[in-house]
A and B are shown apart, each in its own frame.
Chain A
Amino acid sequence: MKGGFALLAVLGYFITQARERIVEVFVPEAGYGGEDPVEFLFVSGVLGWAILVFFGLLFVFVLLFYISWRMHTFRITAEVVEVRSGVIFRVNRRARLDRIQGINIARPLFPRIFGAARLEINQAGNDANVKLEYLASGAADALRREILRLASGTRTEAVAVATATATATATATANATAVAAADVARADVARTNVASADVARADGARSDGARSDDRRSVDGRSDVSHSDVPRAVATRSLVDRRLGEFLVPELDPDAAEPTSVVKLSVGRLLGSIILSTGTFVLIGVTLTIIIVSIFAREALFGLIGFVPAVLGFGSVYVRRFTKSLRYTVAGTPDGVRVGFGLLSTTNETLPPGRIHSIAISQSIFWRPLGWWEVRVNRAGQSARHGAAGQQNTTILPVGNQAEVLRVLALMLPELAEGHSDAVRLIGQGLAARPTADDAYVTSPRRARPLRWFSQRRNGFAFAPEAVLLRRGAIWRSLVIVPQARVQSVSVRQGPLLRALRLASVHLHTVAGPIVAQLGALDRDDALEFFAHAETAAVLGSASDTTHRWRSAG
């Protein structure tokens, strides 16, 4: 099983770069004559040589890229994904399938034009990601499905694994794939290799572009829709296909049930960005400077110095806006899929049980509109950033309560409808004021000096399978930690808390933007929380099967 790496993207980039570089070499000389470089070359009679050198270099670079592309191979077994790369410095990296934290497919604008995609398998740990750079666009999706299918533990029969060396000709690929036990997904991979071979031919690499027709069996489980798409597409011309891939909706309509999709509307995105904290800080600072300048004229110069900052803010806003366009959150059988981007697109699938904690938060500026932000802690950190510098820990940049609940249901099905207790708890967690039947254990009245406004909100509750921590009155947030993901629990008390007979509790999860900590609880409540959360963590991790999420029937 192998994928073709679309070299063309790299090559195309290289060509533009290389031309600039060569021009640069000649520019200083051209400067003497005051002529443009090409003319200079023509006049001095070395144009022929220059062209020769240019194509010679180009050939060498193409060759080098081609070799490095040929050396970049991968294989998937029932246990691991293995990638080998490098010509002089060989790199061999294996990733265990049951430790996959998420799979990310990025299509930056340029490779996307050439129908290429970058696939990244996130593993827990620093710089532990496995990257497959530049697969054919369709192959990347098929490959992700296949990896997730293997990782989920669905397969009942042992799958024979084909180890195919990377070969540019599709014939060899087809042969290699024929060795493998053929199923639909695999046939897809073979087919998309044809596409990548096309790409290779387009840039001059020799390829006979043979067809692989080794589709043998279609097992009943696979949906036919996605396997038919490549065939239909293959009959069209190369340009048509590229255009088709470019114009295809960011979220493949077959990939998820429409009911599970949460989309971000442009207006709300714009609103959320405008109503961000940064904007208010900006307005505040500007106003301060203006007011001060009424009394002291010199301060007006501060305002001038402030202009670049405003421009900077503006560009950040624009970038965040364009990158978050077409934001979708959808539930697929193999986890939550988050996708975004207009020109450069990125989408990521998080298998179940890979989310270590969830924070739903609302700043005071968003409150009148009822908007919330959903962020998560994850063990794997993708090198690709999320929408405009926001780490990809933000699952939903902005959404109303109904959407938040839908996203929550995708991430933690235990908290979805049908579990009325959990839904009620979440509702109370997001509500402005604790109701009479509030199920949260909150801070006692004597905690007022430490929690001026939020004393009645500051509290915890145990839902089935998860712990809920509710915090903040002005800056509201609700932290949800799945029991199975709790690493350890601590309770602590300093002299101030001790004087008030209080204590704080902390659920340790993997590092991320969310800290599941709750301060100023009654000492006995804290100890009870400690005992209960610890038991829950032990039970949760013992019954957890999400590392092979579909294996346990």
Chain B
Amino acid sequence: MSDRLELPAVTWRPISAKYLIAEFLGLLVTLLVALTLGVALIFTGWDAAPWILGVAVAVVLLYASLTPRRVRAIGYQLRDDDLLFRRGILFRRIVAVPYGRMQLVDINRGPLLRTLGLSDLRLVTAAASTGVAIPGLPEAEAEELRDHLVALAESRRAGI
């Protein structure tokens, strides 16, 4: 396990545990769609249909069983000069964005997340590949973080 990418000096700030509910609801919808399609296929009388349905359900369930770990693995940390963001277990990715490089900070709230009181926060730099989106932050924390980041970005901005 020591082969995994870790930054030992960093303690990650987790996202809200309630985000798990949103993830599970999303998976439930996927499962229902898969079931509907599968049942429809079975009614057509195709032999392989039950197998396909079984595999699809198994994949969704497997994914669901890993979701808690996956959500726990999402974390961020504000350092002196940059924001660190980490996600993924199997495919791990750690990004560092200097504050001066942020062009804008976005907060998104879907209907589901809104009922849970959560927000997604997205950072945009001049590079499209930065791709930092922190999902499932509590609303107050997201707004506070956004204001903080914008203020920091403003004080350190330099060109592109």
Contact = CB atoms under 8 A, between A and B. Distances in A.
Interface in B93-119: 93-98, 100-101
A484 B158 CA distance: 9
Contacts of A356: 160
Interface string A499-517: 1010100101111000100
Interface stretch (B19-27, B37-45, B56-64, B121-129): B121-129
Contact of B127 (A353, A503, A508): A508
B127 to A, nearest CB: 4
Contacts, number: 104
B5 interface: yes
Given A527-B5, A534-B98, A547-B158, A488 B92 contact: no
The interface size bin for chain A is 35 or more
Contact of A490 (B96, B101, B160): B96
Interface of A: 98-99, 124, 353, 356, 379, 484-495, 498-499, 501, 503, 506, 508-511, 515, 523, 526-527, 530, 534-535, 537-538, 541-542, 544, 546-547
Contacts of B5: 491-493, 498, 503, 523, 526-527
Interface residues of B, number: 28
Contact of B159 (A492, A493, A509, A544): A544
Contacts of A523: 3, 5
Interface string B118-159: 000000011111101000000000000000000000001011
State the 6 A-B residue pairs at the shortest beta-carbon distance, nearest first.
A487-B127, A508-B127, A547-B159, A538-B81, A490-B95, A488-B97
Contacts of A486: 98, 101
A505 to B, nearest CB: 10
Given A379-B126, A492-B5, A509-B126, 20 more contacts: A99-B159, A379-B160, A484-B158, A486-B98, A486-B101, A487-B101, A487-B125, A487-B127, A488-B96, A488-B97, A488-B130, A490-B95, A490-B130, A493-B4, A494-B91, A498-B92, A510-B127, A523-B5, A530-B96, A547-B158
A527 B3 CA distance: 12
Interface in B53-100: 81-82, 90-98, 100
B27 to A, nearest CB: 22
A498 B3 contact: yes
A506 B93 CA distance: 10
Contacts of B158: 484, 541-542, 544, 547
Contacts of B29: none
B94 A491 contact: yes
B48 interface: no
Of A124, A511, A535, A537, most B-chain CB atoms within 10 Å = A537
B125 A488 contact: yes
Contacts of B7: 527
